[in-house]
Homo-oligomer: A and B are copies of this chain.
Amino acid sequence: MNLASSEVERRIVRFKRAAREAGVKLTHQRLEIFREVAARADHPSAEAVLTALKPQMPTLSLDTVYRTLWLLHDLGLVSTLGPKRESVRFDANPEPHHHYICVSCGLARDFESTEFNSLNIPKAVNGFGSVDTTHVEVRGICLKCQEKGSKKP
């Protein structure tokens, strides 16, 4: 399932502008990698992007795909699904709960909310499949990281 090409073009325009403003070069590889991620609704991995582009760009390499995707991430043009480059972490809380995650140090804390436990799932979601759990993830900068950040002159 892919996006409307008008939407993809809009995202590409945005990318070109951001690249220019950030002073990074607009290479063929970067454009195609961004186009691929922007056109797909399935949030591909680096490997999946490479596989999709390989036919048209046989010399494209996985490391370039990674470097480009993280660059796009730094430019604020793409985000990652779930927390980033981290190892798996385990949670033994058996109660329904939600998470606060510090985007700087990865700190995780549980919190409860009856409101969050009974959210109204949009009907569009039923078109995707069954709904088992609903979990809210709040991201921000934890107190400790805020201190550290402000100390650096």
Contact = CB atoms under 8 A, between A and B. Distances in A.
25 contacts: A37-B90, A41-B110, A42-B109, A43-B89, A45-B87, A46-B88, A46-B90, A78-B91, A78-B92, A80-B89, A80-B90, A81-B91, A81-B99, A84-B88, A85-B88, A107-B128, A107-B129, A111-B122, A111-B128, A115-B120, A130-B140, A131-B138, A132-B139, A134-B139, A135-B136
A99 to B, nearest CB: 7
A107 B138 contact: no
Contacts of A140: 128-133
A146 B126 CA distance: 13
Interface in A44-99: 44-47, 49, 69, 72-73, 77-92, 94, 99
A43 B102 CA distance: 13
Interface string A102-130: 11000111111101100111101101111
Contacts of A116: 119
B92 A38 contact: yes
A86 B120 CA distance: 28
